A and B are shown apart, each in its own frame.
Chain A
Amino acid sequence: MSQTELSVKVIEDKPGLLTVEFSNLRREVLNGIRRTILAEVPTLAIDEVLFTENSSPIYGEYIAHRLGMVPIKTPDDPEILSQISIDIQGGNPPNMRVEYQLRAECPPQLGQPLTVSSDMLKPLGVEEARPVYDNIQLFKLGQNQVVELQATARYGLGKQHAKFSPVSPVVYIYKPVLIFDKTKDEPCDQHVSVCPTNCLEYKHGELVFTNPWDCILCRACEKACKSGATKIMWDESVARLTIEATGSLPPKVILKTAILILLKKFKLVSEKVGA
């Protein structure tokens, strides 16, 4: 592999979780992707709630805030999503919206408080745009208490409100590099035992990683090494990006959308420049 050639490797691909290894991707670009995912990949989230009845102990603004946090299945076409993002940022938010209805009442014969969860949030029309999970607790109702509301979900961006962010963590780490100066080393097993992730071992009198990706760059070994032979560094040219989605969009779509958003922005720039 040449020093400058970009390579991409999928390390882990599970529903809701994606880990990709990039080699020779510039730090700025990688961080740009991460930031775009967090702040600019649009999803649907409840943005407006109209209460027709609320005799619960929980205030309207409180319930509305909670409803907003419920992740909602969003149509997963990166092309459309990226365009929506560009439109929102350009000041032309799409007119698309999904209406929901919720009516809950705690009958007196229940004898205990009624927990209202996300499955009671019924979308009107667009059946696909349902809450991702059915068991998110929204609020509880006491005897004879009623909540009736209409909610509207819209597309929005993470930078507008965290509820629109499609991921919970999105993170990358650089590849840890162990520099071990054999000449300085005095025999001591401190390095290995001190490591909280057990990623070090002695091989042929040399300290090496068992798996460099286990290292958390905490430098515990470096501090434990009195001789100064051990040094933990990192290689910015190799990085692993992990996306853990909230469920509103699959991680791959998120990644692709983020890249498309960046590309469209670049295209916009080049158009404006007139190239």
Chain B
Amino acid sequence: MESFAFRKDSDVSGLLVRSLIDEKGLVRLHLDSYNRFIQSEFKKIIEEVCVIESTKGDVKIKAANPVLGRPIYDPWTGKQRIIPEVTEPDFVTRPITPMEARLRGLSYTVPIYCDFVITDGDDQYEAQQVLIGELPVMLKSSICVTNGLTKDQLIEIGEDPEDPGGYFIINGSERIIVSQEDLGTNHIFVEEGPSNSSVLTVSKVSSVTRTANRTTTQAELTKDGRIYVYILRSKIPMAVVFRALGFVTDRDIASLITRDERLQELLTQSFIEGETLATTESEALRYIGNRVLGGFTKSTEPKKRGEEIIATRLLPHLGTSNSQEVKTKKAQFLALMIERLLEVNVGSRQPTDKDHYANKRLRLAGDLLAIVLRNAVQNFVKDLRHNLDRSRGRKGRIQMKALVSANLLTDKIVHALATGNWPDGRTGVSQILDRVNYLSTLSHLRRVVSPLNRMHANPEARELHMTQWGRICPSETPEGVNVGLVKNLALTAIVSVGLTETESSRFEDSLYRRHGVQPLSSVTNFTGLQRVYFDGRLIGYHQNVHQLAEELRSRRRSGQISPEISVALTASPDGKPELVVTADSGRVMRPLIVVRNGESALTPKHIEDLATQRLKWSDLVAAGVIEYLDAAEEENATIAVDFETLKNSSHPEKYTHVEIAPWAIMGVVASIIPYSDHNQSPRNTYESAMAKQALGLYSSNFRIRPDSRGHILHYPQRPIVTTSGARVVGFEKRPAGQNVILAVAPFEGYGINDALIINKASVERGLGRSTFFRLYEAVEKKYPGGFTDKISIPEQTVRGYRGSKMYEKLDEDGIVLPETMLYGDEVVIGRVSPSRFGSQLQSVEGGGILQQDTSVALKHSEQGRVDRVIITFDKDGNRLVRVRVRDNRVPELGDKFASRHGQKGVLAYVVPQEDMPFTPQGIVPDMIINPHAFPSRMTVGQLIELIAGKVGALEARQVDGTPFIGEEPQSLKEALKRLGFNPAGVESLIDGRTGERLQAEIFIGVVYYQKLHHMVADKIHARARGNVQITTRQPTEGRAREGGLRFGEMERDVLIGHGAAALLKDRLLDNSDKTTVAVCENCGYFVYFDSRRGEYVCPIDGNKAKVSLVSVPYAFKLLMQELISLGISPRLKLGEVGER
């Protein structure tokens, strides 16, 4: 690893960010979330959900102590530990590596074992441990094989040491769970009611607990001054709900809600309404029990139902029991909701800013897996209960093994992950990991999607919010429908894991005991007291929350409480300070250097120790030098952008923090753009999209990976003009692009409209060469009835035989040999399958089984050499043959290239070297682009990169082009002059064709160019004749089907405009779906041809029909018949041309 030389701030920022990423990796969020899930969450879900009561008898089964896997011998570390396993079809279980899972199309999972405690009446049987299913394992998580392996060992098991992990392997394909952006749960949101409704203000909270799905509780103020609470979509007057919770008198309710008399007055209407409906607790409960939609409770008694609903459906995050303690908590919370509601209504408080990042939470792999697991276990329980009921007839001991169907749980989980369809109705939650290049992989793993998608067409949700600074990349977002909704995390963004339940309650306890927070119920005199909130709840009061905040922050910096706990001061509408303490999961935090009394807590000693690796990032956090702030706490901070600002400030003590790295506001992709601070901002957005299409070295184990398709650039290079971001992210270890000598000049008009001119000699010397891979596979399937596929060279008699020429590259075993050259449609793997109706035919004809050719052939428009042949067995024990074909791709006309500044272009002219212009030193550009690319796009960054690249090439070093802090353009110009070049980067060239000196000086230097994966070889397409669709008999569509090029409406308009009737008919009829139909002129229907009698027969007029043959489009004939099938009677009236 190269070390940063110490020159200035830029090195310090690079060092800090590098130490963060080296220690935590770029996919920490997924790993932390998953590890938390497997440590505690999964156990609790199974234990809480998996309770089975038999409907017959009183057998009760309870799951207890679920565990993941059993320690097995790990041959790589030589230890006994829990690692993923595979169960072969012969029931042998053995450890599996990720690469084996990929190669054989298996899932990378670990078994879940669970004890079942059975009680039959009073008898209790001893616990039985049973396999209940399998859980997919996240790569690089604590139970992954790769955990704790050295670099060499990783290589030995076929992994890329630089692979980030954070994804799953499901049926051989790599899938990620995309982080979902979510509004904060268990927090109160207040918003204005819809403008056209009678609702003025709404106060909402969505409660989330582990066992239940999320429930939303809503309070709203209507125009007639009444407040309603929604429970399960039923509208209940506010007073009734409070009475049901044990607060009966209006006075109690009013003082619980607020002590502000002005606000209390607003409650009058609600109290009047409540008076008429319920005056006691039991009346209120009955009212609720009668009102709330049925089907949720078994009980028929309204009061019982009311109690149950209040317990489980009203604010369940505060508890689901029926005790008065929980009820009081709920009443207090509801009171807070209503207070907020009123405050917003009178205008003393602003509605919640939904786009503020303090109000957002990210749901990561662990949270989302929990949803799947809960759903799967519920299904499992249902199935188990069914099996239990059936088995009750039999005598004897209950055998859990016989009752449990382990595949059920596994299939549910695997299915969700394999399709991305989540039980809660979301789609696209899991996606196939993007492996175009290393950056695209990382970016995919750090993607955040907002579920708001089409639902709310709220333009503000798409805009960049100021609180996204340092959390979400300002540049990297797609264009079009998803703009601003699909986001990417900034480099140093950290997602909170959240305290566990025990940690959380212990912390809350310490707030009371240690910090003197007075619990709500104990307070009688409110004067001089300030509110303290914890995880969205008002938990009590304190005399001086400023002091409390200081205490908590200093305890956090000294490592006594978790660094994740956020301590934010806000103000209530009356100007009193309030303290909001948050410790839940999914908050996006960012690290900052602490400033104490105007002095940075980070000292040169720290930096030196960090550079020599005596100190780690986490040491700095533990020492309180660096702390994590979430968006809520950041509102209290004053952050200096760099040390310089802090040092030169006249009031340094006003600063609380210093930014770690100004460039770390960018995400992984945007941070590779050099001098991006000089570009027009949309250009950085375009480049962020394009960098993900660049070819490079996506993974160092590409030779053994069975990717269904992939590209490898032959000579990937580190950029000469680099950025700290690119280094830190690992782009220089897995680069995607080449340094190219670029001239900005016109060239015979071939550069117009962003076309590129490339030097033929450069191409011949290897510039932009890449290899394309495609994987073909065939399974030798076994069918019921003893039939089986056979991988072999098909016999000529087989149905669908393609002619001997197509099979000639096959070896004896029916599979092509490595290094064989293959062309379009040639068979890669020969295979014969029993015909679908083979068994029936056998009995009818008595002959042998009819067989069908199901060989796998090379794609029609492709060619390539056989790279690798893999023969193995899939999870069902079927023989699996996978053949990878490679194709050498030399740049050709039409291939797409782009610089790192959103400047893309298509190759338009390959110029022989002798025709290229040359500099006095004899330098010939590799590429020429037209100067028109610059003025309107204002990608000044590329101009600076060109100069910087020239300096770097001449001085044989990499130039630091990090935005905001990179090498100054001015110093680069000076360097250029020192090196004997015009500082402007221009040179006097001689035209290679005429030998004349070009009149203008040409801007020439080195720019990093990316080859994008859109290549003509994959797109070129033409057809004269070919297949037609079966339904319409019109030519097929699309390159893959060898389709025709559509002669569309606009083209049709042209011919009509020109009056070219014959040509129009030629295009639309003669060369498309022309058919001849016979029509009966009497009835106007189609007639059929009776081939036995040799004549046309009209189904209506019989032989009396006057039959004429007409040429019509087949689609027209089809339309007629479809209309007839609908009971509509279309009749054709025939006549001669010109006749009416």
Contact = CB atoms under 8 A, between A and B. Distances in A.
Contacts of B913: 38-39, 158, 162, 165
Given A216-B988, A217-B988, A31 B994 contact: yes
B88 interface: no
Interface string A148-175: 0000000000110111010011111110
B765 A218 contact: no
Nearest to B1000: A219
A162 B765 contact: yes
Which of B867, B919, B920, B977 lies at the interface centre, i.e. has the most chain A CB atoms within 10 A of its CB? Answer: B920
A107 interface: no
Which of B771, B888, B979, B990 lies at the interface centre, i.e. has the most chain A CB atoms within 10 A of its CB? Answer: B990
B69 to A, nearest CB: 34
Contacts of B994: 27, 31
A265 to B, nearest CB: 15
Contacts of B924: 169
B995 A216 contact: no
B1044 to A, nearest CB: 34
Nearest to A159: B912
Contacts of A51: 819
A223 to B, nearest CB: 9
Given A173-B920, A196-B982, A218 B764 contact: no
A61 B888 contact: yes
Interface string A214-250: 0011111000000000000010000000101000000
B45 to A, nearest CB: 45
Which of B766, B914, B924, B994 lies at the interface centre, i.e. has the most chain A CB atoms within 10 A of its CB? Answer: B914
B997 interface: yes
A190 to B, nearest CB: 13
Interface string B891-930: 0000000000000000000001110001111111000000
B387 to A, nearest CB: 53
A171 B920 contact: yes
A196 B976 contact: yes
B291 interface: no
Interface in B756-785: 760-762, 764-766, 769, 771
B765 A171 contact: no
Contacts of B819: 51, 54, 60
Given A65-B766, A216-B988, A35 B922 contact: no
B1047 to A, nearest CB: 40
A218 B923 contact: no
B992 interface: yes
A171 B914 CA distance: 10
A57 interface: yes
Given A35-B992, A197-B980, A218-B988, A169 B764 contact: no
Given A61-B888, A218-B988, A218-B1001, A162 B760 contact: yes
B983 A196 contact: yes
A197 B980 CA distance: 5
Interface string B745-765: 000000000000000111011
Contacts of A39: 912-914
B678 interface: no
A67 to B, nearest CB: 12
A169 B922 contact: yes
Nearest to B769: A65
A38 B983 CA distance: 30
A219 B983 contact: no
Contacts of B764: 161-163
Which of A28, A165, A217 lies at the interface centre, i.e. has the most chain B CB atoms within 10 A of its CB? Answer: A217
A136 to B, nearest CB: 13
Given A162-B760, A165-B913, A196-B982, A234 B987 contact: no
A34 interface: yes
B703 A57 contact: yes
Contact of A27 (B761, B981, B996): B996
B920 A217 contact: yes
A174 B765 CA distance: 29
Interface string A14-43: 000000000000011011001100110000
B657 interface: no
A88 interface: no
Nearest to A161: B764
A218 B986 contact: yes
Contacts, number: 102
A171 B703 contact: no
A69 B914 contact: no
Contacts of B997: 174, 217, 234
Contacts of A69: 765-766
A161 B978 CA distance: 37
Contact of A170 (B865, B922, B983, B987): B922
B840 to A, nearest CB: 49
B886 interface: yes
Interface in B975-1015: 976-984, 986-988, 990, 992, 994-997, 1001
B714 interface: yes
B995 A30 contact: yes
A159 B865 CA distance: 28
B766 A169 contact: no
Contacts of A170: 922
Contact of B983 (A158, A165, A220): A220
A108 to B, nearest CB: 14
Interface in B908-959: 912-914, 918-924
Contact of B923 (A169, A173, A219): A169
B816 to A, nearest CB: 16
B983 A59 contact: no
Contacts of B990: 171-174
B995 A196 contact: no
Contacts of A242: 922
B456 to A, nearest CB: 51
Contacts of A34: 914, 995
B918 A216 contact: no
A168 B922 CA distance: 9
A169 B761 CA distance: 12
Contact of B981 (A28, A35, A62, A196): A196
A55 to B, nearest CB: 11
Contact of A216 (B771, B886, B912, B980): B980
B51 to A, nearest CB: 55
A163 B1001 CA distance: 30
Contact of A171 (B921, B987, B1001): B921
Contacts of A218: 981-982, 986-988, 1001
Nearest to B766: A65
Contacts of A159: 912, 914
A197 B987 CA distance: 13
B988 A219 contact: yes
Contacts of A196: 976-983
Contacts of A168: 922
Contacts of A220: 982-984
A25 B671 CA distance: 53
Interface in A48-99: 51, 54, 57, 59-62, 65, 69
Interface in B855-882: 865, 867
B821 to A, nearest CB: 11
- Give the 5 A-B residue pairs with the shortest CB-CB distance, closest first: A169-B922, A31-B995, A171-B922, A162-B761, A218-B982
19 contacts: A27-B994, A31-B992, A35-B914, A38-B913, A39-B912, A39-B913, A59-B867, A59-B886, A60-B819, A60-B865, A61-B888, A62-B714, A159-B912, A169-B918, A196-B976, A196-B978, A196-B983, A216-B982, A217-B988
Interface of A: 27-28, 30-31, 34-35, 38-39, 51, 54, 57, 59-62, 65, 69, 158-159, 161-163, 165, 168-174, 196-197, 216-220, 234, 242, 244
Given A54-B819, A65-B766, A196-B979, 19 more contacts: A39-B914, A51-B819, A59-B888, A62-B888, A158-B913, A161-B764, A162-B764, A165-B761, A169-B923, A171-B990, A174-B990, A196-B976, A196-B980, A196-B981, A196-B982, A197-B980, A216-B980, A218-B982, A220-B982
